[in-house]
Structures are given as C-alpha cells and as structure tokens.
Structure 1
Amino acid sequence: MKPAMTLLLQLVLLAASPSATAQPSLKVPYTYTIDYTEGYVRGATLAREWKGEAPKLFHGGASMRTLGPTFMAYIQTGGSQPTGTSDGPHSEDARGLADWREQVRLFNRNLHEAGVRWIIPYYCNQTIFGDPERRTGFWHLYDHWEVFEPLGLGPKPERDPILWMQRDPCGRLCFNYEYNVLLMRKQTDSIRRYAPCLSDPDWIRYSEAEARIAASDGFDGLFIDNCIQHSYSPSAQDAFREWLGKRYSTEAQRDLLGFDSTSDVRLYHEGDIIEWAFTFKEWTAWLEAKYPTADRPLYFDTFGPLDATAVNAAGWGMLVGLAEEFIREKVFEGDPSITWEGLRMA
C-alpha cells in the first residue's frame, strides 16, 4: 500500500474510533421574556406566577424606567401621581418621584429574588416627548431640573432641548416618526414626538444619566431601540468632522479627500432620497394631492399648503416611502423594479 494511502486510512480509522469522537456539548438556552404590559410594575405578582421558573432575562417596557413614560405622564399633567390621581402642582414632583422610584426598585428586587439574572427596560434613545411651547413632558423636566437632579442627572444643560434635535440640511427640525403620532393614536394632544440628534452633547449626557439611574435602580442593562440618525445638525456635522480627523492625517485629508481642513467638510446629502424629492417643485403638490385637506393635519400638522417644515412633520420613516414612490413616478416612469437602494445608487 502506498504511504499516502496508508496515512489516509490511519486518519479515517482514528476519526472513527470512539476515543476520537467529539463529545456533544449540551447547553440549555436561557429564557428571554419580553413583557410590554402597561402599568405592570408588579414584581411580587410575577414572582408568584413563575413559581421557581423565572426567565433568566426579563425585557420590560419603557414604563419600567424611573423617568419612563409612566412618570412622564405624571409630569406632563403638571403634577398628577404616576397612579393617575391628582396630587397638586409641580412642587409635588419630588415626592411623586420618590414614591414611584421605590416601586421600580421593589419590582427589580422581587424579580431578582425570583431568579431573574438580567432585567433590562426599553429605552428609545432618539425620542423626546413633550411640547416646547406648552412646556410639557421633557420640557417640564428641563424647566424643573433642580427637582430631578438628585437622581443623578448632572448639571442642567444651558441649551433648551429644542436645540438638541435632528435637523435637515437647511437647519429645519426633522422627525423620525410622525410629529403628531400620539394624536394619531388618539392618546393625547398635549405632547409631540421629537427626535434628538444622537451626536448632540447634551442629549448624550442625558442618555448617560438615564443609564446611571437605571443601574442605581437595580436594572442590569438597557434595551436600546431604533438608533435612527437622519440629522445634519451642527452637532452631527461636528461629529463627522471629528471622525474624519481621527481617521485621516492632515496629509491624507489633502491628498486623498481633497480638503485642507476638516472645517471645510459638510455632510453629503444629495444621496438622501427625501432631499432628492425636495429638488422637484412638484414634490409638495404631489403630497397635497395624495393627502387632501381633511387628512393633512394629522400627518403634516397643517390644513393649508405644504412647505418644507410641514412636510418634515410627517417623519422620516413615512417620507422615505413617499419619496421613493414619487421619484419612481417622476424619474423612472413608475418602473416597479426600481427600489430605494436602486434609487440611491442611481
């Protein structure tokens, strides 16, 4: 038998021998429970229901967080308790917050004692609810920062939160979701959904504070959703320039990218399909025809003719689909094979 064939036979026999067979590794997967039930900070009840079979990871809704929607509902009404009962004006915020925070901590203690290893609440890091004119929601928190600062918020930012928001290339406010989303859901007309810029330093500091507060209250992490960035704000521009400066030397910036300083750089937006649609004068007329006056306020926050500010109120998520439909009709004569990705490459 040839040496090569002998070696091959030896390898086959070795692989087939019991001693050489890899032993299977058995590992039971852990249980991941998601529960977005409203008003469910009821750890003792859940612990009893599980009867020793608690999930290893419990992923709860935003209402679990100390400064989540449940408490925001309290301050949006100017001092109603998280339970929904009226308890006076803004001066009662501190007591209401202390009571609510103890409920959150008790919930986490009960779940940990029941055997849950990790508890993570939902956190959307690109949403601010409120109204800067009525000073409700997040703006109430900002105006009464000294009440909430003991939580660990840090010093009050000098800039009003309206300056933390995502902006379009012309500096106008833009949104990820419909500006009137809660009105559309018939929940409330007192607050709106804003989209903070993920590069804004004040919003970053606030989000870091949310994480510290969550850890202090017994959570083991945060489930961060969406992470949508559609911003050309000054903060986004600065973050992009900083990234370029770290990635490319001064010589590389000049020789490879063609600019002498990162201060000369602006975020490119011509590949943005919404901005492409705005280059056509027919864009707003097309939207007006698609959304008659009776339907227009919910999406565009106006009964009248649409301008860029009103169009932005529909939110980036909705406008992407509309812009794709419009460009397909306008440029590609309705060709159904043209997709958004294809349009971006066109």
Structure 2
Amino acid sequence: MAEELVVGVDAGGTSTRALLVDRTGDVLGVGRSGGANPNAHTPEVAAGRIAEAIQAALEGADPGAVRACVVGMAGVSKLTDPAVAEVFESAYAPLELGTRVRMVTDAEAAFASATSEPDGTVLVAGTGSIAGRIRDRRLVSTSGGYGWLLGDEGSAFWIGREAVRATLAALGRDHPLTGLPAAVLRESLNLADEAALAALSTTDRLTVSRRLITACNFESPIRLARFAPLVSDAYEAGEDAAEDIVSRAAGLLAANAKAIREPDESTPVVLVGSVLGESSPVGARVRAALSGLDVLSSADGVLGAAWLAAVDAFGADTARPKNWSSTQSGSYE
C-alpha cells in the first residue's frame, strides 16, 4: 500500500511552519516560511508563504499521497471574501496535493494541540484576546475577540493600555513617578532618570502627560502591548496599580471563558498565548478562577493542525504527531 500522508500548517503573523506526518504520527518533513496572516500581509503574500512552507515540508515526498491538509491561520475570516479565497486556492494548485486544503482558525489548531477531546473551550490571550466554544473540533461561537477598539479584554494590548492610563493618572494626580509609571515613561519617552521625574513641577507633569498621549496615539494601537511585561514586573514588586491591572485582566478573561460554556460543562479549557503562560501573573489568576475545570495549556499550533489533518484522513483514533520539537531550530527529533 502506498504511504498515506497528511500536512499541518501553523500560519502566524511572523512565521509559517508546516509538518508532513505519516499515519503513525511520525514527522517526515518540516517546512518554514514568513508570516502569513492576511490581516498583516496581502492575500498573495500570505497564500504564497503557506504554499512555500508546504512545498518545503513535502521535499522528497509524493504530494499526491497527501490525504488531508489543514492550515491553522490567524485572520482566516478574510477567506469569506470569494476573491481572497480564490487567491489561496490558486496558490495551492501547483502543489498538486491529493486533497483540498482546509483552513481553520488558529484557535481550533491550538485547542487540538492540547487535547484529543472533540469539545471544550479555548481561551486566547496574546496581543488580543478571545474565548471560543469548540464542538467536534470546530469553533462554533465566541465571546470577546472584537479587536482593540471594541474588546480584546485582558489581552497584552489591554494590559498595556491600562499601564499607560495608570501612568497618566500618576502624572495628573501628583503621585510618585516610580515603579510602573517610571517604567512606562522610560519605555515610551526614554525618561530614565527617576530623580528628575520626582522633581517635575505641575506644569512639567502636564507636558509629560501630553507627550505620552501623543507618543501612544502616533503608533499603531496594538503597540500598547509592549507595556504589558512592565505590569508583570511591577506586580512581582508588589505594586498596587499592577495588582489591580492583573486582577481585572484575569477577571475579564475568566469571565469570557465561562460565558462561552454550558452550565456544569466538564469539557477541557485550553489556554493559549503569552498572557496566559505558566509564568504570567494573569495566567496564574485565570487558572485559579477556573479551578475545578480541566485546564490545559496549548502546546504548538502546528501540532494541532497536523493532528486535525490526521483526523480528517484517518479518523479520531489516529496517532498524534510525535518526534517534533519546536525548540530545536524548527527541526524534528
């Protein structure tokens, strides 16, 4: 019998990775390319990079032996535009795969990377945030995820914005410009001398406030996410302002996760993103808020995409991908 293969792809904003996997779960090939989120790149660039990563993973293999190919992609909603969808289909055609490429959300791939259960909840908090209900391994409804202007509660963007707001409050209310406010001013305006900050007059504080507002408004809104690590540092130092931000962020994220679940639902909750990491104070608070549930951490989206492809081709009892380490220069072990 000819070898049967599947391909899984994780298409992110800064990089794209593809795995070629056989029926036993062994990783036979790895491909990499640049970012392929169509919200950050043109459809032609995004589709071309996905195709490039798949082609690299297929090196030396028969593309006709590929029985399923799943791409987990941030920005997959762009493909609801028929013209955009056609760009992607055209990019995949030269690969001559033995199957059509199935596009799924990065949240679906992340959920599948952590569990073989068909149903559950995925909570994502990186630059943005969203909670999703997973049924039969597909995203069927969401809570949050409306972008920086309308939502993204508890995300790195939201945390960074609150850090700036706390700094503006300190400036306007003549509070000490130490700790978190000092860190924000150092990061945003390169004001690193805390002694000079302490000596600011009321008029000087107003000038600094205006400079901070101007600097933040000049940049892309999501650039506020760069202040989120400063909140974590301030939290570890015991600052009240950081404690408040962390507490509110965790509360908003946990509430979104719970809002998407049925009463007394016992399915797993998969946490995804830097804000929900094991070392993140927000992540620790969210885990505490979800205590009693089966809370898991996402492994690697490309593994989830590859396993979803294997399920498409071979059924739900198929082996999960193995012999892969994303920390070893993108190679398989």
| TM-score between both structures, scaled by the size of structure 2 | 0.24
Where is the strand percentage greater, Structure 1 or Structure 2?
Answer: 2
Greater Cα radius of gyration, structure 1 or 2: 1
| TM-score between both structures, scaled by the size of structure 1 | 0.23
Higher relative contact order (CA 8 A, sep 6+): 2
